[in-house]
Amino acid sequence: MSTINAGDSRVNVLIRLMGIMFFVLGAAMTVLTNQAASAASIQPQVVPVFYLCSTMLMVAGFVALISKYKESGAPKTQ
């Protein structure tokens, strides 16, 4: 028999939502950087920085999506 801790469930959902938001933000930043770089509307020197930032956002979002929040003091059932 397993009990559901509402507080932990909310935290898990919030972590997943933030992960999705970071991942989507990173993907959008990649697409927009690609479009701006091909249209030559941004300086070429900042393109690698934008790609690095978008990659870091996507990695952080992916880690948040696959992470498992540790339960806070809930008794373990066997």
- Per-residue pLDDT tens digits for 19-28: 999 999 999 9
The Cα–Cα gap between 47 and 41 comes to 11
Closest CA relative to residue 64, chosen from 27, 29, 23: 23
pTM of the predicted structure, to 2 decimals: 0.77
Is residue 1 within 8 Å of residue 64, measured between CB atoms?
Answer: no
**DSSP helix/strand/coil, 2:** coil
22 against 37, higher pLDDT: 22
- The two structure tokens encoding residue 36: 């701006």
Enumerate residues 6+ apart whose C-beta is below 8 A from 47.
33, 37
In the predicted model, is pLDDT for residue 66 greater than 60?
yes
